[in-house]
Amino acid sequence: MSPTQITYGLITPVLISCWFCAVPIAALHAEESGWHLVWSDEFDGERLDYSKWGVEVNAFGGGNEELQLYTDRPENVRVVDGNLIIEARADRPNISGTTRDYSSGKVRTKHRGDWTYGRFEVRAQMPAGQGIWPAIWMLPSEESYGAWAASGEIDIAEYKGQEPSRVHGTLHFGDQWPKNASHTKHYELPIGTFADRFHVFTLEWEPDQIRWYIDGDLYQSQDHWHSAGQPFPAPFNKPFHLLLNLAVGGRFVGAPDSNTTFPLQLRVDYVRVYQKS
């Protein structure tokens, strides 16, 4: 039994708070490991903090044959009862003359929160349903090594709504598409699904290694990647920013079917970023 497992508790893998203090146990664990909190959003206000997040408005999906239209409407992006709600709806929205069957939301920290290396914790509850694709991920804030994926992409947690007990962690790197490369691994919950309750998705990014955790359990480490014409650790040695979104359809998950019931929500309790001194 690892110390990390003890820190997070034996009875349930969800984040718990210490009864004798106001500091969550996950934060104590990070501090004990040399990570220091540098940025966070607990979503305790009545609306999204635009000093930390930008909301994407995009009438053409996300470039992966996705079916949604991203909006900044409160129906799709809002803060309620201490949670960020990103909601996908089958409401045929129209933006600038473009109509799609689905609407949803996408937020990012670009130029509001950009980091080179760190520990990134997101406590979230996923939706379930065929063709639903929530993601917690990172992109380079500048394409220093070229267009995707030469400058890299870090997927902290990607999820297929039709596989509700499985989450994928992936690195994209190499040359520009279609000469790009990737490393990926998935984590399977032993009991229940990621839609049942909140789970903590963590990524630790250091110069020579990137690690993925679910509820404190390490399930993947990567220490081999490359970028065309650039020495290791490129492309993962430049500032990246965080993205949270809920896509509908796309090559990764396929289209929704008659059993997919809208609206569906990605619920985020907090986002915390730590770095080492």
CA 165 – CA 163 distance, rounded (Å): 6
Query: Whose structure tokens read 């003359």?
Result: 97
**Which listed residue (66, 87, 121, 158) is catalytic?**
158
Q: Can 42 be counted among the known catalytic residues?
A: no
**Which listed residue (153, 163, 188, 206) is catalytic?**
153
- Phi/psi at 154 (5° precision): -120, 115
CA 58 – CA 56 distance, rounded (Å): 6
- Phi/psi at 267 (5° precision): -110, 130
> HEC profile for the chain?
CCHHHHHHCCCCCCCCECCCCCCEHHHHHHHHCCCEEEEEECCCCCCCCCCCCEECCECCCCCCCECEEECCCCCCEEEECCEEEEEEECCCCEECCEECCEEECEEECCCCCCECCEEEEEEEECCCCCCEEEEEEEEECCCCCCCCCCCCEEEEEECCCCCCCEEEEEEEEECCCCCEEEEEEEEECCCCCCCCCCEEEEEEEECCEEEEEECCEEEEEECCCCECCECCCCCCCCCEEEEEEEEEECCCCCCCCCCCCCCEEEEEEEEEEEECC
The 10 Å Cβ neighbour count of residue 123 is 22
Q: Can 66 be counted among the known catalytic residues?
A: no
Looking at the annotation, which residues are catalytic? 153, 158
